[in-house]
Amino acid sequence: MNQLDALKRFTTVVADTGDFKQLAQFQPQDATTNPSLILKAVQKAEYAPLLKDTVARFKGRQLDEIMDRLLVRFGCEILSIIPGRVSTEVDARLSFDTMGSLTRAERIIELYQAEGIHIDRILIKVAATWEGIQAAEKLEQRGIHTNLTLLFSFCQAVACGHAKVQLISPFVGRIYDWYKKSAGSVWDEAANAGPNDPGVRSVREIYHHYKHFGIATEVMGASFRNVGQILALAGCDLLTISPELLAQLAASQEPVSRALDPAQSPAMDLPAAGYDETAFRYALNEDAMATEKLAEGIRAFAADAVKLEQMMKAQA
């Protein structure tokens, strides 16, 4: 059994890509996308017609609507291949706009429903800002399930659990990147690998907290830099993995052991945690890594949304 098949015994495997033509070979349950992945895809010859056709069909509409229609177009293609859910992201420029995020999320759902896609097969991705979490809570109350992304800190995870969001995506690789860069020349790769990886440790803390307190929100590790990070989280509810790393897992016959198990969580005297807006903002501010990576991630996704709009303008 290869490592990918072995991993699937413990964890729901999710493909992290807009390149849906690669999906079938890995047989993931779910898939996730983001503006950067869609931008990367439409620059390939095999996907460029989707952009051109979407712009032509809805010429004269607002760019934000055409953008959502393109995202849904990719989502529908993905859902024709996978059995589970696809995550589609609200424009990152709305990360601090609760009502704006709600409006865009509802439109995305309406566009999927117009294509005959059931609401339960869609997860709306929203940045785990305070405003994004409030939007997600309202969406969940309306029966629209959410995936809270750009999550780097314990306080973000606690607030998401309190909001009863469907799923969170803690970013393993970007946490690792920050600590490695911060350490500079004294970074010891071997000492910070596997379960000692700072990104892995963050996800494990969140996972154990959720299981200890019976929080139903799913934990999906994301943003992996290497196979070692993935295997160190085998048993996490879900793991979303790039095609490149999925291929590495499929090519290896090395054994895979379960690293996380809700039935075997360590005995912990964990205090209950909760945050109102003031406490949340202060806790996030106290975490330099999370503050910097959240801001950086929003800027990067927003910049790629702008690039995608520029490509749409060029097609018009």
Residues assigned a catalytic role: 125
Which of 82, 133, 85, 90 shows the shortest CA–CA distance to 108? 90
The secondary structure of 128-191 as a DSSP string is: -SHHHHHHHHHHHHTT--EEEEEE-SHHHHHHHHHTT-SEEEEBHHHHHHHHHHHHGGG--TGG
- Cβ pair 46, 100 in contact under 8 A: no
- Cβ pair 152, 170 in contact under 8 A: yes
The secondary structure of 63-130 as a DSSP string is: HHHHHHHHHHHHHHHHHTT-SS-EEEEPPGGGTT-HHHHHHHHHHHHHHHHHTT--GGGEEEEEE-SH
Please tell me what DSSP assigns to residue 215: -
Please tell me what DSSP assigns to residue 247: H
Which of 227, 171, 232, 165 shows the shortest CA–CA distance to 197? 232
Q: In angstroms, rounded to a whole number, what is the distance separating the alpha carbons of residues 56 and 200?
A: 44
* Tokens coding 133: 């979490």
Query: Helix/strand/coil (H, E, C) string of 19-76?
Result: CHHHCCCCCCCEEECCHHHHHHHHCCCCCHHHHHHHHHHCCCCCHHHHHHHHHHHHHH
